[in-house]
Amino acid sequence: MITAVKSKENIPILLKNSPLEKLLLYHNLQQTHHTYNVAELIIATCVDHRISLKIPEKFAYIIRTGGVNLNSCEFYIAFLASVKNIKHVAIIGHNECAMVHLHEKKDIFTQNCNVLGWNHNQAQSFFEQFEHQHEIHNEIHFTLHEAKRLRNIFPQLVIFPFLYNIHDHQLYLINETKSI
């Protein structure tokens, strides 16, 4: 379902000489950072604090949302593609994402409601109102789903899914034919 990138030979031919290849070279293969004045890539990833990308300054615009759920972020991508002339998008999900199995986290959310200045009922109804919109069920499937959904919206952009492993901090390729 996922494939490691440990050498240049592991990078798909489809990505050769693209900013997506550069992302893998910088992050996984420790390639020396070039200097950028103009960004080449849009990176979308989760808000998770364990994700730390090793990329040069000004190389990429970065959109971070819980679970790399890009609903309501389409405008940013369209804007960056059109106005900033960015043609490549990396969608980076990660393992052990907090947006999986949200229903299991409802109790702790409501127990801590005083942090929000809410009572238990307010916290519970808020959680129940929004959990379905933010639940991603499975990190790999959801990342792939977002990549495919955005390809349909933006057929001229090169949109590619990756998985960030929070244990070894490497980016992995997601095998698109075997993942669904």
Residue span 17-56 as binding mask against Zn ion, x where in contact by CB under 5 A, dash where not:
-----------------------------x-x--------
In the bound complex, what is the minimum distance in angstroms from residue 93's beta carbon to Zn ion?
Answer: 7
Closest by Cα among 97, 106, 112, 107 to 143: 97
Please, what is the minimum distance in Å from the beta carbon of residue 38 to Zn ion?
Answer: 29
Buried b (16+ CB within 10 A) or exposed e, 29-59: eeeeeeeeeebbbbbbbbebeebebebeeeb
Cβ-based nearer residue to Zn ion, 29 or 51: 51
Report the amino acid identity of residue 29. Answer: L
Which range touches Zn ion (CB under 5 A), out of 6-14, 31-39, 97-105, 116-124? 97-105
Give the integer Cα–Cα distance in Å for 109 and 161.
30
Count of CB atoms situated within 10 Å of the CB of 67: 24
Find the binder of Zn ion among 97, 123, 144, 157 (CB under 5 A): 97
Whichever of 46 and 80 has its CB closer to Zn ion, that residue is 46
Question: Alpha-carbon distance 92 to 51, whole Å?
Answer: 10
Torsion of CA 48, 53, 56, 57, to 10 degrees: 10
Query: Which residue, 84 or 101, has its beta carbon nearer to Zn ion?
Result: 101
Distance of closest approach, residue 47 Cβ to Zn ion, in angstroms: 7
| Site map 51..90 versus Zn ion, x via CB under 5 A | ----------------------------------------
Shortest Å, Cβ 92 to Zn ion? 10
Beta carbon nearer to Zn ion, 18 or 143:
143
Nearer residue to Zn ion within complex by CB, 46 or 157: 46
> Can you read off the two tokens belonging to residue 98?
């907090």
For Cα atoms 8, 143, 71, give the angle at the middle one, nearest 5 degrees.
135
Site residues (CB under 5 A) for Zn ion? 46, 48, 97
